[in-house]
Amino acid sequence: MTPERKVYKRDVIIEVTAKLMSPLILLFGLYVMIGTGGTGGGFQGGTILATGFILYITVFGSEKGREKVPESVNAFFKSFGLFLYNGAGWICILFSLAAAQWLNMPAFWPVTDFVGIAGARSFMVAYMISVGIGLTVMASFVSQYFDLAWKEDDEMEGDEG
């Protein structure tokens, strides 16, 4: 499975189907991730998003894959997901002036005024926490895929510890 640079064969059928399929997989992953009513939650959505990217990277090789998923964007999504989740807890303390606990979501009073206590909780879970989990899981699994599955080419020259 490790593609030497020279003998990399390209197959039109696989590439066209991959070009067609991965956006659809990403769309389905978004549906699963956002919102609490439907199937699955943040984690399952994030894994489906990751498979969308992994399909693209497997077919087009790690260089083209790196163009699509550059390293800095990948690391940004890893941290941004957890900023969202941690931030959700942090906001509850800030907005309630240290009256509510870490993840006590109704304390986020702008949302609670509109949709009430239970609505505030489901809003925060649906949009801040699920999305946060999904982004982190997507970015982490894609970056692990790059490192574990793709042997980097320059590694051929010297055996570096």
Partner 1 sequence: MEWLIQHVLEKYNFWVAMLIIIISLTAVIVKENLLKKLIGLSIFQTAMFLWYVSLGDVGRDILTTWGLKTGTPSILWEEAAEKGYIYANPLPNVLMLTGIVVSAATTAVALAIVIRIYQKYGTIEEDEIIEKEMEFEREGGELKNASS
Partner 2 sequence: MLLVEHFPVLIVGLAMFCAYTMLLAGYLNRKLPFFISLAMNCVFFIMSLFVLDHVLNVGPIRYWQGGWRPPWGIEYVIDAMNAYLLVIVISIVILGLIYSRGNVKSEIEERKHPTFYTLVQLMAAGLYGITVTGDLFNMFIWLEIASLTAYALIAVAGGRALRPAYNYVIMGSVGAVLYLFGVGWIYSVTGTLNMADMRLLLPLVYDNRAVQMGFAMIVVGVMIKAYIFPLHLWQPDVYTYAPSTISSMMASVHVKVMFYMLMRMFYSVFTLDFIRHYIGLDLLTCWVAAIAILAGSIWAIKQRNLRRMLAYSSVSQMGYILLGVGLSPFSPWGLVGAVAHILNHAIGKGCLFMCAGAIRQQEGLKDIRDFEGIGKKMPYVSAAFTIAALSMIGIPPTAGFASKLFLILASLDAAQYPFVVILLLSGLLNLVYFWRVIDQIYFVRHEGTKNAGEAEGRGKPLPLSMVAPTLILAALCVIVGIIWLTDIPLPLLDRILSDLRMGVTI
Partner 3 sequence: MRPRGMKTLTSFSITIAILLTALSIYVVEDLPAFGDENSPVNKHVKLFSVDADGMAESLNAGVLPTEIKSRIEKMGFNKEENYPTLEEGNYKIEYIEKGTWLGGRLYTDSGWDVLIHEGEIFYNEPQQYYFIKEMNGNLTVYRYNWPVRVMERTEEETAIINAVGSGLADYRGYDTMGEETVILTGAIGVILLLRRRGRL
Q: Which parts of this chain interact with partner 3 (CB under 8 A)?
A: 36-37, 41-43, 71-72, 75, 78, 81-82, 85-86, 89, 99-107, 117-119, 121-122, 125, 129-130, 132-133, 136-137, 139-141, 143-144, 146-148, 152, 154-155, 160
Q: What share of the chain is helix, strand, coil (3-state, %, to 5)?
A: 75, 0, 25
The CA dihedral of 160, 68, 63, 15, to the nearest 10 degrees, is 140
- Which 107-146 positions form the footprint of partner 1 (CB under 8 A)? 144
Q: Taking Cα atoms as reference points, which of 46, 139, 130, 140 lies closest to residue 88?
A: 130
| Choices 41-49, 50-58, 59-67, 96-104 (CB under 8 A): range interacting with partner 2 | 96-104
Neighbours of 53 (CB within 10 A): 23
Beta carbon of residue 66, minimum distance to partner 1 (angstroms, whole number) = 19
In this structure, the number of other CB atoms found within 10 A of the CB of residue 12 comes to 7
d(CA 87, CA 129): 9
**Positions 37 through 76 that interact with partner 2 (CB under 8 A):** 72, 75-76
The site for partner 2 (CB under 8 A) is made up of 72, 75-76, 78-79, 82-83, 86, 89-90, 93, 98-107, 161
